Structure 1
Amino acid sequence: MTSHPTFPTPADAPIGVFDSGVGGLSVLRHIRALLPQEHLIYFADSGYAPYGGRTEAYVVERALAIAAYLTGKGVKALVVACNTATVAAIKAVRAHYPELPVVGVEPGLKPGAAASRNGKVGVLATVRTLQGEKLLQLRDQIAAATGAQFLLQPCPGLVDLIEQGELDSAAIDALLAGFVAPLVEQGADTLVLGCTHYPFVQDAIARAVIAAGGRDVKLIDTGDAVARQLARLLEGAGLQRPGSAGHPPTLHGYTTASADALASAFRTLLQLDVAVETLKI
C-alpha cells in the first residue's frame, strides 16, 4: 500500500485551488471575497485541458498529480474547482489525502430546483460531467424529492472558447444559441451553470436566453456555495487564518501551459496582477 506524507496544516498555510484551466478562477473569486485573509495557490492544468471529453481514468490521474504537487507545497485544504474533476476524481483525492479538507464543485441541481417556478431546470455542463454517475444519482434524488425535471445540455467546445479568451464574441453567441435555445423551448425557467468556466460568459448566456424568447430565466452559479463550504470546514478544523495575521495574504499561480496566458486571464477575469509559473507534472 502506498503511504502518503502527512503535511503540517497551520492556519497560516495556503489553500490550494485547481481546475483544468481558467474556469476555476470563478470559484477563486468567491473564495477571495469570503476569505480575504487567506493565502491561495491557483493551479490551471491547461496543458492537459479540457477535461470534459476525457475518460474518467485520465481525469483521476491528472487530479491526483496536481493534488500531490499542492500538498507538497503544504496546503491546508484543497478546492477541486472543476465540475468534471469533482464528478470523476474527488473520491480518489479524498482517499489519498484524508487529513485534508477537500471541497468539490457540483452543478447546482438543488438550488436550481429551489429557484425554479415551473420545475423545469436546464443544466449546462461538459459531456463528462453529465455522464458522471454522481451527477445522475443526484439528479434522480432531487427529482424524486422535488418533482423537478432536469434538462441536461452538454456544451462541447464552450470551455475551449473561454480558455481562448472568447468571452463576448460572435463565436460565443453562435455556440451558446445552439445550447440554450432547446432548453428555453422546453420551458426551462432556470439554468444551472454546471461548469466553473461558464460564469465568465454569463452575459452571453443571458443574451442567448433572450434571443431564444426566454424571459425571467434565472442563472445559478454555485461558486459562492463552494466558498462557504470551504469556510465551514476551515473553521471546524481551527484552520482559518486570522485577519490580524502579521503579513498580507499571497496569491500564486501555476499552470501546465503558458504562464503568460494564465497571467492574462487573472488580469482579464479578476483584474489581478499575479506572478505565474509554468510547471511540468
Structure 2
Amino acid sequence: MPLLENPIGIFDSGVGGLSVLRAMREQMPNESMVYFGDQGHVPYGPRSMEQIQKFSEGITRFLLEQNSKLIVVACNTASAAALKYLRGRFPEVPFVGMEPAVKPAAEITKTGKVGVLATPATFQGALYASVVERFGAGVEFFQHACPGLVSQIEKGELESNATRAILEDALLPMLEKNIDTVVLGCTHYPFVIPLIERIVGAHVRVIDPAPSVARQVKRLLEVSVNLNQTSESQRVRFYTSADPASMKSLLPLLLGTDGEVEAVTWKDDQVTL
C-alpha cells in the first residue's frame, strides 16, 4: 500500500484521544486512522515516567506494524512523559503530541487569570513548566488535577452528578479568583465541555486543544506530501487493551458513530493481537 494511503496512528491511555480523532476526521476527511486506547492501563496520570515510556514504546511499535505513516500521541500525560523519548527511539517517525494550550490562553485572557485542568503527571512534567515559562508571563495560572474525572469519562458519565461534583470542586474556586479562560490539559476533558460551560458561564472561554493538533497533523502531511486527498471514504480501526465491548459502547456517545473494536493483549511490554 502506498504511503499516501497508509493510516494515521493515534493512541491514548483510554478514550480521551477520541476527542483528537474527532477533530482530525473533520479536517482530513480522506485519511484512514488506527486508534489505540490502552484502557488496560488507564489512567496514566498517577504512573511513573518510565512506565509511561514503556507503554508508549510498545504502542508505537504496534501502530507501526499497522503501517501508520504518522503517530499522534493523543494523551497529555504520555506527551509529557514520553514524546521526547519516542522521538529518540524512532527518529524516522513523525510524531505529533499534546501541549497544554497555555499560549492561546495567555493571548486571549483579559483578567490575566487562567484555570488549567490536567493530570498530575502533566503538571509535574517539564513540558508544562516550559510552556508556562515561555508564554505565561504576566498571567496567573490556577491548576487542578480533577481526580476521578478520567474514570468518569471512561464510563461514559459525561453529565452525572458525580462528574459535575468533580468539576465544580475544580472550577468554583477558580471562578472566585476571576478566571476568564479554562485550558483543558487532558484529551478526555473536551467530552465534558458542555458541562464545564454550564458551570463557568458564558463569560469564560474554554480552550479545546484538539482542533489545533489536527491542524498540525494536516500541515505535516502536506509538507511531506503524504496527505490523502482522494475521494475514498476514511476507515477507522479501533483497538483496546481492555474489553472491546466497553469501548464500542462509548463510540456513539463520544464520536457520534459506531465502529468495530478489536482487543489486544500486553505481553513482555509488547502489544499483540
Given the two structures, how large is their TM-score scaled by the length of structure 2? 0.94
Structure 2 partner of 1:3:
none
Name the SS for the 1:99 alignment partner: coil
The residue identity in structure 1 corresponding to 2:109 is S
1:69 to 62, 68, 80: 62
Name the SS for the 2:5 alignment partner: coil
8 Å CA contact retained: 2:72, 2:95: yes
Structure 1 partner of 2:79:
86
RMSD over aligned CA atoms reads: 1.3
What are the equivalent positions in structure 2 for 1:82-161 lying under 5 Å apart? Answer: 82-144=75-137, 147-161=138-152
Summarize the Cα distance change of 1:9–1:127 in structure 2 as closer, same or farther, 3 Å threshold.
farther
1:44 to 28, 37, 44: 37
Q: How many residues align?
A: 266
1:27 to 20, 29, 36: 20
Distance 1:69 1:180 in 2: 38
Distance 1:172 1:9 in 2: 45
Cα deviation, residue 258, structure 1: 0.9
2:240 to 255, 263, 277: 255
Worse-matched range after superposition: 134-143 or 195-204: 134-143
Structure 1 partner of 2:7:
14
The residue identity in structure 2 corresponding to 1:228 is R
Cα deviation, residue 17, structure 1: 0.5
The residue identity in structure 2 corresponding to 1:72 is E
Identity %: 44
In structure 1, the gaps of 5 or more residues are: 1-7
Distance 1:9 1:119 in 2: 49
8 Å CA contact retained: 1:9, 1:239: no
Cα deviation, residue 243, structure 1: 2.3
Distance 1:143 1:274 in 2: 41
Distance 2:162 2:12 in 1: 24
Summarize the Cα distance change of 1:71–1:168 in structure 2 as closer, same or farther, 3 Å threshold.
same
Cα deviation, residue 9, structure 1: 6.7
- 1:168-188 Cα deviation digits (max 9, x unpaired): 011111111111111111111
Given the two structures, how large is their TM-score scaled by the length of structure 1? 0.92
Distance 2:216 2:182 in 1: 22
The residue identity in structure 2 corresponding to 1:256 is S
Structure 2 partner of 1:223:
210
2:178 to 176, 181, 187: 187
What are the equivalent positions in structure 2 for 1:204-223 lying under 5 Å apart? Answer: 204-210=195-201, 216-223=203-210
The residue identity in structure 1 corresponding to 2:223 is G
Worse-matched range after superposition: 80-89 or 201-210: 201-210
